[in-house]
Amino acid sequence: MSSEQTLLITFLIIVLAAIQVVILLQLRNSKGGAGSIDESAFNQISMNALSQNNEQFLALAEQRFNVQKTDADNQLEMRKREIENLLQPLNEQLKNLETENKEMEKSRNQAYGDLKQHVQQMITGAERLGREASNLTTALTKSAQVRGNWGEISLSNILEMSGLREGIDYVEQETQGDGKRPDFIVNIPGGGKIPIDAKASGKKFLESLDEADDDTRMALLEKHASAMRDRVNELKKKAYRDSVEGDVEAVVMFVPSESLLAITFDFERDLHEYAMKSDILIASPVSILALLRTIAFQWRQVEQAENTREAVDICRELYRRFAVWSEHYGKVGVNLRGAVETYNKSVSSYQSRINPQVRQLNELRLNDDLNKSITAPAEVELEPKSLPAPESIVGSEEE
């Protein structure tokens, strides 16, 4: 209930109380001042007074309530509009936020799908790589032939990257006169040769990778190092220096893995010195690539030197031929001068010997019906120039 309604009800109660007081006074006056008041008369008067003013009170209350209701409705509508105006930007922002959230959710779902696909591809690739690595490890562990092929393929790939030309700078598996056959023979400038054999002695090393016991693993690695020394001895027995035609600078034992070679020196520290005493160089992929690229650079230097010498020979031949041509061209100038002199003599002879006779013939009008006339030739006064000497050309350029 509002405060205005409370005040109105209070006012009505006060008015009713005042009416009762008035009625009591009227009754007291009508009895002549008697002390008692007739209750029925009081009730009758009260009812009459209330009935007379009831309609007025109700009309006034109704009017007041209608005014308050109208004002309250107006205030409510105005507040409603104000709240709607305040909430309209927030509503628009909420709609925009909802739209953006939907777009973000769509993009997130798409990105998640792409990421899931890539992850699945990576998992599949990793599984395939794991299987291939496992198969390769098994093959390298169980088959010496596979290890040999692995070393030869690795060496072939390195030769392709070195810049050397197959069939010119190096040859593959060329059988020598005694039946021995290195994996590759590299030619070096000056007629030298470098036989290369790939030795992939990694069985014990690969077995050690799966060994959990330290002592067993160290024993396997020690056997691996001993097997690497045995490969050096085998290569020494092949004596490629004697069987390969040409000047053999050194024999290279190629190990197709840095790890296979690095772990060997933990047990065979003098392996390099031991091999070099037999003119054998132990090379890993990195070191042999550096060696082969150095040889390729030397071949390019040799080719450039040969091209330079050939260019010098070509220039000398060109100079000789140009000298012969200059002699012929000088003769052309002499002949041209003789021709001009002969021509000028013929012109002088025409002017002195023939022209007077032609003038007489013209006077006889022998050419009237010919539409032709004899034209006197003019002398040539141009003098052909001779080719200047090279010293004169240099002097003129300096000036």
Give the C-alpha separation, 322 to 390, whole Å.
12
**Is the pLDDT assigned to residue 262 strictly greater than 70?**
yes
Sign of the C-alpha dihedral computed for residues 330, 332, 334 and 337 taken in this order: negative
Stronger pLDDT, 136 or 80, i.e. the higher one: 80
- Range name among 128-142, 208-222, 226-240 with the lowest pLDDT average: 128-142
Give the C-alpha separation, 346 to 352, whole Å.
10
In contact, 195 and 182? CB cutoff 8 Å: yes
Give the C-alpha separation, 335 to 328, whole Å.
11
Q: 34 falls in which pLDDT band (50, 70, 90)?
A: very low
Relative orientation angle of helices 3-30 and 39-142, to the nearest 10 degrees: 170
Q: Please tell me whether residue 17 adopts helix, strand or coil conformation.
A: helix
**Is the pLDDT assigned to residue 175 strictly greater than 70?**
no
In contact, 245 and 179? CB cutoff 8 Å: no
According to DSSP, residue 369 is labeled T
- Tell me whether strands 192-198 and 184-188 are parallel, antiparallel or unpaired: antiparallel
Give the C-alpha separation, 356 to 172, whole Å.
95
Name the one residue in this structure whose structure tokens are 């016991």.
213
| Number of residues in the chain | 399
According to DSSP, residue 252 is labeled E
Q: Please tell me whether residue 118 adopts helix, strand or coil conformation.
A: helix
**Is the pLDDT assigned to residue 2 strictly greater than 50?**
yes
Residue 50's pLDDT is what? 57
Alpha-carbon distances of 178 from 181, 195, 244, 278, rounded to whole Å: 9, 15, 9, 20
For the question of whether the overall pTM of this predicted structure is more than 0.85, the answer is no
Concatenated DSSP letters of 11-28: HHHHHHHHHHHHHHHHHH
In contact, 258 and 286? CB cutoff 8 Å: yes
Per-residue pLDDT tens over the stretch 9-25: 666 667 666 666 666 66
Q: Please tell me whether residue 186 adopts helix, strand or coil conformation.
A: strand
Picking from 48, 3, 58, the residue whose alpha carbon sits closest to that of residue 26 is 48
**Rounded average pLDDT over 219-247:** 80
In contact, 220 and 202? CB cutoff 8 Å: no
**Is the pLDDT assigned to residue 360 strictly greater than 60?**
yes
Cβ-Cβ contacts under 8 Å for 21 (sequence gap 6 or more):
none
Of these ranges, 110-114, 150-154, 184-188, 379-383, the one predicted with the greatest mean pLDDT is 184-188
Q: 352 falls in which pLDDT band (50, 70, 90)?
A: confident
Stronger pLDDT, 146 or 98, i.e. the higher one: 98
Number of neighbouring beta carbons within 10 Å of residue 97: 10
Per-residue pLDDT tens over the stretch 61-114: 677 777 777 888 888 888 888 887 887 888 888 888 888 888 888 888 888 888
Residue 399's pLDDT is what? 44
| E-assigned strand segments in the chain | 170-172, 184-188, 192-198, 247-248, 251-254, 280-283
In contact, 206 and 141? CB cutoff 8 Å: yes
Start-to-end C-alpha separation, the chain: 123
Q: 189 falls in which pLDDT band (50, 70, 90)?
A: confident
Picking from 182, 205, 207, the residue whose alpha carbon sits closest to that of residue 195 is 182
**Is the pLDDT assigned to residue 303 strictly greater than 80?**
yes
Of these ranges, 43-47, 145-149, 175-179, 281-285, the one predicted with the greatest mean pLDDT is 281-285
Number of neighbouring beta carbons within 10 Å of residue 238: 18
Per-residue pLDDT tens over the stretch 193-218: 888 888 767 667 666 666 677 777 78
SS3 content of the chain, % helix, strand, coil (to 5): 75, 5, 20
- Range name among 128-132, 216-220, 245-249, 297-301 with the lowest pLDDT average: 128-132
**184 forms bridges with which residues in the sheet?**
172, 196
Give the C-alpha separation, 110 to 312, whole Å.
69
Radius of gyration of the chain (CA): 64
